[in-house]
Amino acid sequence: MTELVQQSQLLKNEPLARYTSWRVGGRADRVFVAENLNELQAFMQTLDHAEPVFFIGLGSNLLVRDGGVRGTVIVMHQALCDLRVDGKYIYAEAGVTCGKLARFCANHYREGAEFMAGIPGTVGGALAMNAGCYGSETWNIVHQVLTIDRQGTTHVRNESEFIPSYRHVEMPMPDEWFLGAWFKLESGNAEESLLKIKNLLATRLASQPLNLPSAGSTFRNPHGDFAARLIEASGLKGYQIGGAQVSPKHANFIVNLGHASALDIELLIRHMKDTVLEKQGVALQQEVRVIGEYA
């Protein structure tokens, strides 16, 4: 690893609150902000085989505990932002925001990716959790993906090598992370696609608490029902622990009122699960990923 990378991209004892959409979390031992694929590959080759590694994009589906993260966090959203037409596919690197991908596809007369505009994260995160909204999921439109392993070696893998399910993707190999994907989309009408995106964003703005830090949906929707309905029916809208609150606007969102700790949020998640199980008889499954140690 070069001296330039050590000085400009490798940060030690770095607060992670600035890298997560909830704006909470302790410090990471090391944060590597990747600028391009070559530097990322070179950095991966320096890692000890036992070093814990975490890849994050916009941190929009992530809770980092107050005690921080032991190991290395690799931030992708400031780099790996290549977005292009590649033959009959659209190629997007992991750091591209889902909203930008949706608009790019529409402007290049491809339909089927409009729903991505409603996902508040990056392509890498959407691939990792099979993110979706309004009845569509990321892996429905994936053709191939590019991954990287701990040794810095890249791999092109077909969609058939993965087992996607609701908000989860089973990886064919351990310790591989997504660098990008080729998306298969039908030819479409740009004006119609852009109108769909506009309407989708208007619906999102009207129904979700976008004015406060949150991490999107806290729980997965149970089969045939909605987590928000179950939470609201349990009387939890507006319920607060410390600076964390069940949003009065959307019950499946937890918002940071400005002074929340990660512990406040995690305790509220537990309380919501326990209350819904007690009052509705449904065991909610958490959608938010939690990493790190308690303070």
Residue 220 catalytic?
no
Within the chain, what is the greatest distance between any pair of CA atoms?
58
Task: Tell me which of 30, 167, 261, 266 is the catalytic residue.
Answer: 167
- Cβ(139)–Cβ(109) below 8 Å: no
The reply to whether 217 belongs to the active site is yes
Three-state secondary structure call for residue 102: helix
- The residue whose two tokens read 């691939």 is 127
Kindly tell me the burial class for residue 242, based on how many C-beta atoms sit within 10 Å of its own C-beta (0-12, 13-18, 19 or more): middle
Annotation marks residue 165 as catalytic = no
Please, what's the b/e burial string for 41-64 (b: 16 or more CB within 10 A of its CB; e: otherwise)? bebbeebeeeeeebbbbbbbbbbb
- CA 203 to chain centroid, in Å, comes to 20
Phi-psi region of 130 (alpha: psi -120 to 50; beta: other; left: phi over 0): left
List 214, 217, 234, 261, catalytic entry = 217
Inter-residue contact 54 to 282 (CB < 8 Å): no
User: Annotated active-site positions, please?
Assistant: 167, 217, 287
